[in-house]
Structure 1
Amino acid sequence: MKERNHTTLTEFILLGFGSGLGLKEGPFVVFLVIYMTTTLGNTTMVFLISANSPLHISMYFFLMNLSFLDLCYSSTIAPKAMMSFLAGSKSISFHGCATQLFFFGLFASTEAFILAAMAYDRYTAICNPLLYPITMSKQVCIQLLVGSYVCGGVNSMVQTVFTFTLCFCGSNEIDHFFCDIPPLLSLSCTNTDINVLVLFTLSSLIIVSTSMVILVSYACIISAILRIRSAEGRHRAFSTCTSHMMSVILFYGTLTFIYAQPSSLSAPAQSKMVSVFYTLVIPMLNPLIYSLRNKDVREALGRTISSVFLK
């Protein structure tokens, strides 16, 4: 048994939401509707922000990249999952599984840093408005974006390497609808204590560090808003932050449940349902949250629609 290593395993089987190999039309339809809505919403957000010059400020620069990330990591998961629901074979190659895990980890980790950058942007705009154009210049925004991708890439690379250097010499059936770390660790025939520790440590480090930036930023923001004398001014300042706060709560709540607790390897059925929420539902909701609650985005959408019909 010890002589067999992961090189003898050429593929995994994604069980999805059932142990059988039959068709799963119900999950396919649900995933298809959610994914189409996600694709339409996030593509529209990227197009609106890039095509409307009034939205070419740092706040919408990060929002555009948030929509791009949502589109990317949903696309990493949903198409393969939908294929497995309808195909007679639910297999994914060893290297395909590693690739999916890496890109999902990259996009999901990067999103955490982007949300932190968005909180810092709101802090600067509300607490230091005179210095806002300088503090959040285009160069600074690009640096924050690149830094987010670098940090996300390092985390994803470490997690992927640690996971796929394990020995998989037993079952190749993954009790999940995509290649994620917890169900993969449960398939290993070697000791995974180090992997669990790395997963917990890096996930906690990312969640704690980025959430601290968000919490400190919003503590300063709330303090500054409370000093505004007019109720209208307080409402206007706070309204620029509510959409971001909703996205943060949804994203960090589900991410913490899956990865930042030692018991993340237990209750696979519950973990799958939570995974559906943060891999598909949250990316679908983010464009709706920002477009419905943001006056500038709604006006840009109105201008775009008017220009299309007037032509």
Structure 2
Amino acid sequence: MSSKVTFIGLGVMGYPMAGHLANAGHDVTVFNRTSAKAGEWTREYKGKACSSIAEAVAEADFVMTCVGADPDLRQVYLGPGGIIANAPDHAILVDHTTVSAGVTAEIAQAASERGQSFIDAPVSGGQQGAENGKLTVMCGADPAAFEKARPLMELYGKAVTRMGEPGKGQLTKMVNQIAIAGLVQGLSECLYFAEKSGLDQRQVIDVISQGAAQSWQMENRADTMIAGKYDHGFAVNWMRKDLDICLTEARERGITLPVTALVDQFYADVQSMGGERWDTSSLLARLRKLGGLQ
């Protein structure tokens, strides 16, 4: 059945995600802070754009958001012009932004007070996953709200899983980013070691990817890392934002994450090299610079 869906935030992730909803026949309304992007979307997909959040969500059954960070999320959800004040009291609100557990709890409480349901549903899979409809979606939600929203999320998610009550989606995404940080640094070091040792890096990857060293990062990023191409995927600036969320949450829980903290500083080095918008696999560029290879 067709639903009235509003999608707020048409960045590299939100733009194709909203497109999947429109292609499936849903009645999609979009809002973006930069109106030109919303206009571009409506020329590519069937749907309409609104000039304010209040107008965009007024009749929505579902509101999906994918914005930047905690302050952006508060701006679009809270206040007299925000989603919660203007969406119907039956609306289900689904946030795909990676944010702190604290802001998630704040918004979930505000939505509940209006009789709305809130789902924190951060995603993994990057721009390619969003475009291909192959994202992993980690959800914190009331079971009934999750079941209602799941068919929509499955239009752009290959794996859509409820991890528990609101907030558990963001905690799961933190686990995801902690794992990725260590994996990318490990892959960078193995490629750098192979390079400095005079080995054929691609042949090395061919061999070790058949065994226990295999990973998604190795399969999807090794070739571009070897070529020094970092103009795709998830940007270093965003990874640092995510790792700050992880490390802050860990400190509040009395958890020590030494490898994650170290890799976060390595990403700071990449930023100082001018790599703020490089893909996260650019940790190899840092090692090459330290070794005088570039």
In terms of Rg, which structure is larger?
1
Higher relative contact order (Cα pairs below 8 Å, separated by 6+ residues): 1
Structure 1 or 2: larger strand share? 2
TM-score, structure 2 normalization: 0.31
